[in-house]
Homo-oligomer: A and B are copies of this chain.
Amino acid sequence: MKPLDVLGELLENQVMVRLKNGLVVKGKLKAFDIHINLVLEDASFEDNDVEKKVKNMFLRGDMVIFIS
């Protein structure tokens, strides 16, 4: 089993994504590709102590540290 197969098992599940700029984004994983570009649905993150929510978020893969 390869790492991307494990990501595939996370589709439609709630995930937490930690980004290189310190942001932590939560949402439902709707899509990913080999660059680890992600799409999260009903995504939320804290921006200067204010929680922000967006319906759909496209995350560029090179910003990802880890997904859990």
Residues of A within 8 A of B (CB): 1-7, 10, 16, 19-21, 23, 25, 30-33, 36-39, 43, 54-68
A6 touches B30 (CB 8 A): yes
Tally of this chain's copies: 7
Most buried by B among A21, A25, A60, A63: A60
12 A-B pairs with CB atoms under 8 Å apart are A1-B30, A2-B31, A2-B32, A3-B31, A4-B37, A6-B56, A16-B54, A19-B65, A54-B68, A57-B66, A59-B65, A59-B66
| Alpha-carbon distance between A3 and B64 when the two chains are bound, in angstroms | 14
**Across-interface contacts of A36 in B (CB, < 8 A):** 37, 60
